[in-house]
Structure 1
């Protein structure tokens, strides 16, 4: 099972600076279906998601917050995903997803927030258990 190329982004924004439709609709739907086939549920990634969502909320509330804090949060996210895969709690396809977006999600504030929007769209479509 491999991550579809059209579900990995170099940027979450279009050429006008708006979040791409795909992260809300098509790519999110495709990945949620793939993740469900891999037995990934909302429950299995909720704590990982909350780590990122909490940081996104902090970034939005405090524009002066150093982006380095968000980068560190994403690195922790990747580390925890790898740990959960090793423990066989999470399918390796999710590790591929996290690693595939490492560079873009840690590029700047906007891209980090874009990744969180993407993951939110995927999570909304997953089964709860």
Structure 2
């Protein structure tokens, strides 16, 4: 299964919850497109962990670091890379889930794609 989507504007996603980071690369964005970092932070705060009894107890800031393709509030026309560092990741925390599918995750698709 590919992590790349799109035709004119391509989006590549990477990472996993137990890895060092997750992120996205957007390729094909035109230069000069305004981007509001405060709006991105507001949307990210909506999905932050620890907001209710059903969410993970891990403490993550979910701060988006724009690595490239952005300057002075606008896209540059080069691929835009945004990364979120997983500061509280521990692979062992997922050991009980090694053979179980989790709703809302890519576990089933990964199981099919990689035969287990």
TM range (shorter): 0.3 to 0.5
TM-score scaled by length of structure 1: 0.31
Decide which structure has the larger Cα Rg and report it: 2
Greater relative contact order, per chain length (Cα 8 Å cut-off, separation 6+): 1
TM-score, structure 2 length as denominator? Answer: 0.33
- Say which structure is richer in helix: 1
Structure with the bigger percentage of strand: 2
